[in-house]
Amino acid sequence: MKPLRLAIAALLCAAAPLSAQAEGKDPYVPETDPLVVRKLEQWQDWKFGFMMHWGAYSQWGIVESWSICSEDVDWCGPSKSNEHTKRYANDYVGYVKAYEQLPTTFNPVKFDPERWAEVAKDAGTKYVVFTTKHHDGFAMFDTQQSDYKITAASVPFHSNPRANVTKEVFDAFRAQGFGIGAYFSKPDWHSDDYWSPRWATPNRHTNYDTRKHPDIWKRFVDYTHAQIGEITSQYGPIDILWLDGGWVRARDTMDDTAHGIAGVPWTQDIDMPGLAALARKNQPGLIVVDRAVGGRYENYRTPEQKIPDEPLPYPWETCMTLGDSWSYVPNDNYKSARSVVQMLVDVVAKGGNYLLNVGPDGNGELPAEAVERLHQIGRWMRVNGEAIYASRAVAPYRDGKFRYTRLKDGTVYAIYLPDETESKLPKTLRIPGPAPAAGAQVTLLGNDAALRWHRDGEATVVEVPAALRNSAAGAYAWAFRLPGAAAAQ
Q: Does 189 bind ligand GLC (CB under 6 A)?
A: no
Report in angstroms how near the CB of residue 21 gets to ligand GLC at its nearest: 5
Q: How many residues interact with ligand GLC (rule CB under 6 A)?
A: 7
Q: How many CB atoms lie within 10 A of CB 456?
A: 9
Phi-psi category of 288—alpha, beta or left, where left has phi over 0 and alpha has psi -120 to 50? beta
Report in angstroms how near the CB of residue 16 gets to ligand GLC at its nearest: 13
| Residue nearer to ligand GLC on the CB measure, 39 or 53 | 53
Residue from 244, 290, 346, 361 touching ligand GLC (CB under 6 A): that is: 244
Contact 477/341 with Cβ under 8 angstroms? yes
Q: Does 304 bind ligand GLC (CB under 6 A)?
A: yes
For 333, counting Cβ atoms within 10 Å of its Cβ (0-12 exposed, 13-18 middle, 19+ buried), the class is exposed
Q: Does 21 bind ligand GLC (CB under 6 A)?
A: yes
Residue from 254, 319, 337, 344 touching ligand GLC (CB under 6 A): that is: 319
Q: Does 230 bind ligand GLC (CB under 6 A)?
A: no
Contact 141/165 with Cβ under 8 angstroms? yes
Contact 15/260 with Cβ under 8 angstroms? yes
| Residue nearer to ligand GLC on the CB measure, 244 or 290 | 244
Half-sphere exposure of 245 (CA within 13 A, CB side): 29
d(CA 97, CA 1): 6
Binding mask 32-61 for ligand GLC (x = CB under 6 A): ---------------------x--------
**What are the CA-CA distances from residue 430 to residues 310, 368, 401, 456, 459 (Å)?**
23, 40, 11, 9, 6
Q: Does 326 bind ligand GLC (CB under 6 A)?
A: yes
Q: Does 64 bind ligand GLC (CB under 6 A)?
A: yes
Contact 205/263 with Cβ under 8 angstroms? no
Report in angstroms how near the CB of residue 305 gets to ligand GLC at its nearest: 8
| Residue nearer to ligand GLC on the CB measure, 243 or 486 | 243
Residue 463: phi and psi, rounded to 5, are -100, 130
Cis peptide before 396 (omega within 30 of 0): yes
Report in angstroms how near the CB of residue 366 gets to ligand GLC at its nearest: 18
Q: Does 23 bind ligand GLC (CB under 6 A)?
A: no
Q: Does 232 bind ligand GLC (CB under 6 A)?
A: no
Report in angstroms how near the CB of residue 326 gets to ligand GLC at its nearest: 5
List residues binding ligand GLC (CB under 6 A).
Answer: 21, 53, 64, 244, 304, 319, 326
